[in-house]
Chains A and B, each alone.
Chain A
Amino acid sequence: MDAPVEERFGRSPYLILIDTDTGTETSIQNPGADAAGGVGPRTVQLLVNHGVKAVVTGQVGGNAASALQAAGIDAYQYRAGGTVRDALALYRAGKLTRLL
């Protein structure tokens, strides 16, 4: 929760999954973060597999955007350079811009 937010969606080394109802957090590794290409869709696949409904990130590339749309996952932008906790607080307060 105290880790800084990675602003490039597909390059995030870890994904922090937060259950907004129960507040539980799980951290999963993103095996595709260092891959040469297609990191966007691969990261989206990971989110789909974990039943994620919305994502907070800095920016999403074109393929990641179409993948998120296809999967029906909302994307919100956070680029203030803070931690996961900061981003979550703004998300809960409804203060983040919606990307998709």
Chain B
Amino acid sequence: MNVAKIAVASGKGGTGKSTVAANLGYSLAQERDVVLVDCDVEEPNLHLFFQDGRSESPVTTPVPVIDTSACTFCGRCAEQCRYGALLVLENDIRFFRELCHSCGGCSLVCPTGAVREEMEAVGRVWESRPFPHLRLISGVLDVGEIHSTRVIQAAKQAAEPAGLIIYDAPPGTACPVVETMEDSDFCLLVTESTPFGLHDLELAAAVAKKLCVPAGVVINRSDGDDAETMAVCSRHDLPVLLRIPFDRKIAAWQNRGELFAVHMPQWQGRFTDLYTRIQDIAGGSR
């Protein structure tokens, strides 16, 4: 089986995760169709590497609306709500929109049918085609919203069906990261050789392991002395698949929001080789 979905994660922001995802996507798109999905919905930044017009579609979620004339203020909905989004008073009811997880529980338990659900926007999905074989899809969560997994799901859905999808995961190891990694065939962990980087690498590797997704490591901004990183990787059985050296030129393009694989075509080959190794590791075992 071909590896169809690769999640790029790092445990923490700022390690160059988006750089790896963007350059990998661009390099592979020289030969095949690739979809890049930015799942870092709170701070999507993949689009900064590419220039193209984009189309936008809303992501909505059901939110309860209560008809107080039908409500008997029995309090069952508030009792049901695990998130404290409803407060039933003697003859009034308050709804805390920012606490609501859209579980639908309140409308199910209401004995008088006073709860109706309305779709409300919580974010957007941007879509563009910066290169002939590359589609870019970004999930964007509205400010102050909590429904990040809903937006990630929508972005992932928009990418389907496709042969090869690369997910740029959000930083951290919480629900949104799990949501991103969950149905991936492989998890590419990006790290830097700093103590902080290593700790986050271990956390992210633990998530991948728990989800039974095979993983490998890319060391970014390597100063050549990666002994400690290599030790951590071998302890966790993580193959180091690619090393991107610290390079002034790479950093400069980076700062201008450009893809270094465009300027240094030899890297397109290295990213293609990276994908071949991923295939060998994950594809063969399935």
Which A residues contact B (CB, under 8 angstroms)? 32, 35, 37-42, 44-45, 48-49, 63, 66-67, 70-71
Contact = CB atoms under 8 A, between A and B. Distances in A.
Contact of B84 (A32, A48, A49, A70): A32
Contacts of B89: 48, 70-71
| Chain B binding surface SS class | loop
Contact of B99 (A41, A44, A49): A41
A49 B83 contact: no
B274 interface: no
Contacts of A41: 84-87, 94, 96, 99
Contacts of A35: 82-84
Interface string B242-262: 000000000000000000000
B78 interface: yes
A55 to B, nearest CB: 14
Contacts of B226: none
A67 B94 CA distance: 8
B83 A67 contact: no
Nearest to B146: A37
Nearest to A48: B89
Contacts of A37: 83-84, 99
Contacts of B83: 35, 37-38
A8 to B, nearest CB: 14
B44 interface: no
B87 A67 contact: yes
A32 B81 CA distance: 11
B72 to A, nearest CB: 15
Given A45-B78, A48-B89, 7 more contacts: A35-B82, A35-B84, A37-B84, A48-B87, A63-B99, A66-B94, A70-B89
Contact of A70 (B75, B82, B87): B87
B85 A38 contact: yes
Contact of A44 (B87, B90, B92, B98): B87
A63 B84 contact: yes
30 contacts: A32-B84, A35-B82, A37-B84, A37-B99, A38-B81, A38-B82, A38-B83, A38-B84, A39-B84, A41-B87, A41-B99, A42-B81, A42-B84, A44-B87, A45-B78, A45-B84, A45-B87, A48-B88, A48-B89, A48-B90, A63-B84, A63-B98, A66-B94, A66-B96, A67-B87, A67-B96, A70-B87, A70-B89, A70-B92, A71-B89
B82 A63 contact: no
Could you say which of A32, A38, A44, A49 has the most chain B C-beta atoms within 10 Å of its C-beta? A38
A67 B99 CA distance: 12
Given A41-B99, A63-B99, A70 B85 contact: no
A42 B77 CA distance: 12
Interface string B76-113: 00100111111111101010101100000000000000
Nearest to B78: A45
